């Protein structure tokens, strides 16, 4: 396969596997994952706990490196990127964003300071994510879970990323705020062409925001479809079971199934 992939593929995974060595023994987090995410699309990643979703996100900005296979970001293999440049291009937003000791302003301006540039209007980024500018000088450790999730996103936006890697970023928001967040992010995707890989346990959210949806189980992608087809006519019987609230047991995932194709 060619090393050069066009700019209209934001991310491509080629036969990627990852095993973590733990005190309990090896944990196979990813097994031969292949797929691609078109630039400017929203991919929603769903699946049971421990199925490998966060690990897959972490491969994109080199927080984790694969044992086997290759990951491409805008056509260049991830490990060939300068890591800081890659992390500006593909910003990861955690469910519980880590904060540095200091104010909200300190946390917000950190990324720009590391790039050696000033951030003239940090309050604009707060307002973008629905936080009042009065919070700027508050101690970041005093924020609520929901405020922290908003700050995490604001901090990523300061980097002006072309890809956002979102890991359960609305779990601490109240339901009305969740919709506002979703609208903001889908607008960002449509108006600025930002590509989003969005891990969520909320299947309704995955359906509302996704262009493409992958279901992961036991480190494999067991269904990859345009989001509408994923929910309306999945190919894999395990997907139907998962959508109905059932469990997928280890060992069930490697059964062959056909896909309808598509860009993912
Ligand atoms: N840094 C790590 N060290 C050791 N094991 C890890 C590490 N990161 C993930 N794992 C293991 O890899 C597997 C996949 O984890 P991962 O967090 O990617 O799953 P997930 O689908 O995102 O789960 P959840 O929905 O609960 O967040 C799990 O068994 C997990 O315990």
Distance (angstroms) between ligand 1 centre and the Cα of 51 equals 7
pLDDT of residue 7: 66
DSSP letter, residue 146: H
Of 51, 59, 60, 65, which is best to mutate to test ligand 1, by the most ligand atoms within 8 angstroms of its C-beta? 51
Confidence at 147, pLDDT banded by 50, 70, 90: very high
Mean pLDDT confidence for 60-82: 97
- For the stretch 74-126, pLDDT in tens is 999 999 999 999 999 999 999 988 899 999 999 999 888 888 888 889 999 99
ipTM above 0.85, yes or no: yes
Strand 68-73 and strand 42-46: pairing?
unpaired
Question: Looking at ligand 1, which residue's alpha carbon is closest to its atom 12?
Answer: 29
Kindly list the distances between the CA atom of residue 23 and the CA atoms of 26, 50, 70, 113, 157, in Å, as whole numbers in the listed order: 8, 17, 27, 38, 37
DSSP letters, 104-131, are HHHHHHHHHHHTT---S-HHHHHHHTT-
The answer on pLDDT for 32 being more than 70 is yes
Nearest CA to ligand 1 atom 20: 50
Calculate what percentage of the chain has a pLDDT beyond 70: 93
What is the pLDDT at residue 73? 98
Nearest CA to ligand 1 atom 30: 50
User: Considering the chain, what is the average pLDDT of its residues?
Assistant: 91
Closest residue by Cα to atom 16, ligand 1, is: 52
Query: What is the Å distance from ligand 1's center to 10 Cα?
Result: 24
Residue with CA at minimum distance from ligand 1 atom 9: 55
Q: How confident is the model at residue 6 (pLDDT cuts 50, 70, 90)?
A: low
Average pLDDT for residues 21-46, to the nearest whole number? Answer: 96
* Comparison of pLDDT for 170 and 112, the residue scoring more: 170
Note if the pTM is more than 0.90: yes
User: Which segment of 12-16, 58-62, 259-263 scores lowest on mean pLDDT?
Assistant: 259-263
The answer, yes or no, to whether residue 14 has pLDDT greater than 50, is yes
Instruction: Write the pLDDT tens digit of every residue in 172-231.
Output: 888 888 999 999 999 999 999 999 999 999 999 999 999 999 999 999 999 999 999 999
Rounded to the nearest angstrom, the distance between the alpha carbon of 224 and the centre of ligand 1 is 20
Which residues make beta-bridge pairs with 30? 18
Question: Please, where are the H alpha helices in 28-142?
Answer: 53-60, 83-89, 104-114, 122-128
CA of 55 to the centre of ligand 1 (A): 6
Query: Which ranges of 129-233 would DSSP assign to H, the alpha helix?
Result: 145-158, 175-192, 203-209, 227-232
């Amino acid at each position: 396969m060619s090393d050069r992939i066009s700019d209209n593929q934001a991310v491509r995974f080629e036969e990627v596997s990852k095993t973590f060595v733990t005190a309990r023994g090896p944990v196979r987090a990813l097994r031969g994952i292949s797929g691609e995410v078109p630039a400017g699309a929203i991919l929603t990643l769903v699946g049971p706990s421990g199925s490998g979703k966060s690990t897959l996100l972490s491969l994109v900005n080199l927080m984790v490196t694969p044992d086997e296979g290759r990951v491409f970001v805008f056509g260049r293999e991830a490990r060939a990127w300068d890591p800081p440049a890659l992390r500006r291009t593909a910003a990861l937003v955690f469910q519980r964003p880590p904060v540095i000791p200091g104010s909200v302003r300190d946390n917000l301006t950190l990324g720009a300071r590391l790039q050696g540039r000033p951030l003239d209007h940090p309050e604009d980024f707060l307002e973008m994510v629905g936080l009042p500018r009065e919070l700027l000088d508050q101690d970041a450790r005093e924020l609520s879970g929901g405020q922290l999730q908003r700050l995490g996103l604001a901090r990523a936006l300061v980097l002006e990323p072309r890809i956002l890697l979102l890991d359960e970023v609305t779990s601490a928001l109240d339901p009305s705020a969740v919709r506002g967040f979703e609208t903001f992010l889908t607008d960002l995707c449509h108006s600025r062409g930002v590509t989003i890989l969005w891990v969520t346990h909320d299947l309704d959210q995955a359906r509302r925001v996704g262009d493409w949806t992958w279901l992961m189980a036991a480190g494999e992608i067991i269904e990859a479809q345009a989001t509408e087809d994923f929910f309306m006519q999945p190919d894999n019987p395990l997907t139907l079971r998962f959508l109905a609230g059932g469990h997928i047991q280890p060992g069930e995932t490697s059964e062959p199934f056909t896909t309808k194709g598509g860009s993912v």
